[in-house]
């Protein structure tokens, strides 16, 4: 489903960092930096490269629906299934 309250998304975007947000009409594109591999694993020297999460929402009334998501790392683009982000979206909706 991938829908959350728009107000929840807006609150998260105001407080989260580092990110970039572009709103055009009802389309909201969010870019978030991934942690480094070293940070994610808690192991020094595992890797310092960061990726970028790209999330595309469509505003539908008072809701925002996640319609597309992917991560870009090292020049590769890997799609993320919206269903795989449902728990994160539920967390955001409770924000």
pLDDT digit string, tens, across residues 52-70: 899 999 999 999 999 999 9
Helix (H/G/I), strand (E/B), else coil: 17: coil
| Count of domains observed in the chain | 1
Q: Is the C-alpha dihedral spanning 43, 46, 49, 54 positive or negative?
A: negative
Going by pLDDT thresholds of 50, 70 and 90, the confidence category of residue 34 is: confident
Range of the domain at 83: 3-93
Measure the CA–CA gap between 54 and 21, rounded to whole angstroms.
Answer: 10
Measure the CA–CA gap between 34 and 53, rounded to whole angstroms.
Answer: 7
CA angle 6, 80, 95 (to 5 degrees): 30
């Amino acid at each position: 489903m991938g829908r959350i309250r728009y107000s929840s998304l807006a609150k998260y975007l105001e407080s989260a960092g580092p990110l970039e947000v572009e709103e055009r009409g009802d389309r909201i594109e969010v870019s978030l930096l991934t942690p480094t591999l070293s940070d994610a694993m808690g192991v020094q020297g595992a890797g310092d490269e960061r990726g970028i999460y790209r999330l595309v929402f469509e505003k539908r009334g008072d809701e925002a629906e996640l319609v597309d998501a992917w991560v870009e790392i090292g020049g590769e683009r890997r799609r993320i299934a919206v269903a795989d982000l449902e728990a994160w979206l539920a967390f955001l909706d409770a924000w």
